[in-house]
Amino acid sequence: MRERFGLTVRPAPSKSDLRGFDLAFSLDQDGQERLILVEIKSRWLRSFLPETRTKFQAAREQRPSQIPVLAVPLISPRLRRELRDVGINHVDLAGAAYVRERGLYIDVDPVRTPSRNSQMRASDVATDTALETINPFSDAASVVLRLLLNDPDRAWRIQDLASAGKMNPGWVTTVARAIERRGYAIRSQHGSGRESDLQIADPVAALQDWTDVYTWRANHMTSYNVPFEYHELTQRIRAFIKDMSERGSSAEFPVALTLHSGADLYAAHVQHEQLHAYVQANAFTELDERIRVDFHGKAADRGGSGNLHLLQPYYRRSVFVGASMRNDLPVVSPVQLYLDLINYPVRGKEAADVLVRAVLGPEWGLSPEQMRRLLA
């Protein structure tokens, strides 16, 4: 606070100053003492919003000079906008800060380019819960959520989820409890424990909370400059997949398109010449060699553009859940595609919104209000 904003802050002298908050600091602003009250959340869920907003309003009414602030490990750009809209001051460990009170205005929005490791740490911290410390958006646990979202009309038995995802039923039960606790899914009244049914209840909240802790940059990307037009690249990808299939590859989807090349197969909207594809670990070496030899591709310089990009997935196990063939090309599920697109800097939000209107909204039977929330 001193270095960045020229403000002197020190711990509040008395615990009575906490007033129900987690931390309290005394702020010297031009010789005037003000109290900063900090509410700490190890992760943020939208269900926290009404209670937090009420608590902040009460603090301001009690003493107008008080400054309530929410502290969360990582706040996404979308969440930053939402918190600003309802007047919730906030900071995160990446350097974002927003405080708007009488006589004080701070708004810092850092440029985030998280590495794979930093994304993993942020994801783990931002979604830790008191219930079993299960992160429903982790690689293994997200298989359950993906199955529910990919078949929203189905009420799944735990055993069926375990079989479909090749998971232990006990693990699925634990993940199901975490998902239900967050309000993403509900249990039916039929049966109990592993015999009860689980069905998605609020896909919008699940997807929005997921986007707050995930970025496509978490994947390791290898880029190439290939001397072919986009349609020729797709033809060569088809040939590669056909060759692997004829040789009896064990992977149903050794490759799956994503970002704008994936969006083209659901609802084409953005003009582009870039092909992005996830690649299974056991297929990467072979495809890399084929690109360099048969495609005449050369590795793009770090930071260079390139026109063909192979992604070694952050979600090694679950990224291919719900993948399908469209126009003889493999593509990730609409859920994974949305996650990749929503924070992609080149017209990603625009393509994600088209995907919502054309695919996710109709498939999930979203109401106009739910559509408004997801498109905000």
Considering the entire predicted model, what is its pTM?
0.72
Count of the separate structural domains present in the chain: 3
Q: 42 with 124: CB under 8 angstroms?
A: no
Instruction: Measure the CA–CA gap between 33 and 29, rounded to whole angstroms.
Output: 6
- Whether residues 310 and 360 fall in one domain: yes
| Closest among 343, 256, 313 to 139, alpha carbons compared | 313
- Given a cut of 70, the residues of the chain with pLDDT beneath it are 1-6, 15-17, 30, 110-133, 189-196, 248-251, 302-304
Domain containing 59 equals: 2-108
> What is the per-residue pLDDT for 112?
47
- Whether residues 29 and 152 fall in one domain: no
CA 356 to chain centre: 15
Q: How is residue 218 annotated by DSSP?
A: G
Residue 210 lies in a domain: no
Question: How many C-beta atoms lie closer than 10 Å to residue 246's C-beta?
Answer: 8
> What is the per-residue pLDDT for 303?
58
Q: 136 with 175: CB under 8 angstroms?
A: yes
Cβ contacts of 331 within 8 Å, gap of 6 or more: 256, 257, 258, 262, 265, 266, 323, 324, 325, 337
Question: How many C-beta atoms lie closer than 10 Å to residue 61's C-beta?
Answer: 9
Helix axes 169-181, 142-150, angle to 10 degrees: 70
> What is the per-residue pLDDT for 123?
39
- Whether residues 145 and 180 fall in one domain: yes
- Whether residues 95 and 181 fall in one domain: no
- Whether residues 103 and 73 fall in one domain: yes
Residue 207 lies in a domain: no
> What is the per-residue pLDDT for 126?
36
- Whether residues 222 and 343 fall in one domain: yes
Q: 44 with 126: CB under 8 angstroms?
A: yes
Structure-block tokens of residue 283: 């297929």
> What is the per-residue pLDDT for 287?
92
* Single residue among 150, 167, 202 that ends a domain in this structure: 202
- Whether residues 274 and 348 fall in one domain: yes
Instruction: Measure the CA–CA gap between 213 and 79, rounded to whole angstroms.
Output: 11
Instruction: Measure the CA–CA gap between 145 and 184, rounded to whole angstroms.
Output: 9
> What is the per-residue pLDDT for 119?
41
